[in-house]
Amino acid sequence: MRMPRMRVYLPEELYREVKERGLPASELLQKAVAAEVRRQKLEAELDAYLVDLTAEVGEPTEEERAEARALVDRIEHSVRRNEPR
């Protein structure tokens, strides 16, 4: 499989860390770029879904938004409480 080359610039400190640790820079960068591309695709799919959902059921009320915010706050609090220290 042909793999085109790309020049990538890193800040000096990050470059030194990669070299000192003997990290496989190309492999790490491939994984990071693939993850970012996937994240962007999923975000675009979510945006499209939300547009369709809003068209189907309408905008949420302020009360529904408050309920959703309270649920998110409870979830975040639970996650923080259960994180290892």
Q: What is the pLDDT of residues 6-48, one digit of tens each?
A: 999 999 999 999 999 999 999 999 999 999 999 999 999 999 9
**Residue 19 counted as domain residue:** yes
**Residue 27 counted as domain residue:** yes
pLDDT tens, residue by residue, 52-68: 999 999 999 999 999 99
pLDDT above 80 (res 70): yes
- Specify the pLDDT at position 71: 97
Residue 44 lies in domain: 12-82
Number of domains in the chain: 1
**Residue 67 counted as domain residue:** yes
- Specify the pLDDT at position 83: 84
**Residue 46 counted as domain residue:** yes
**Residue 5 counted as domain residue:** no
- Chain centre distance of CA 50: 18
pLDDT above 80 (res 85): no
**Residue 28 counted as domain residue:** yes
- Specify the pLDDT at position 84: 81
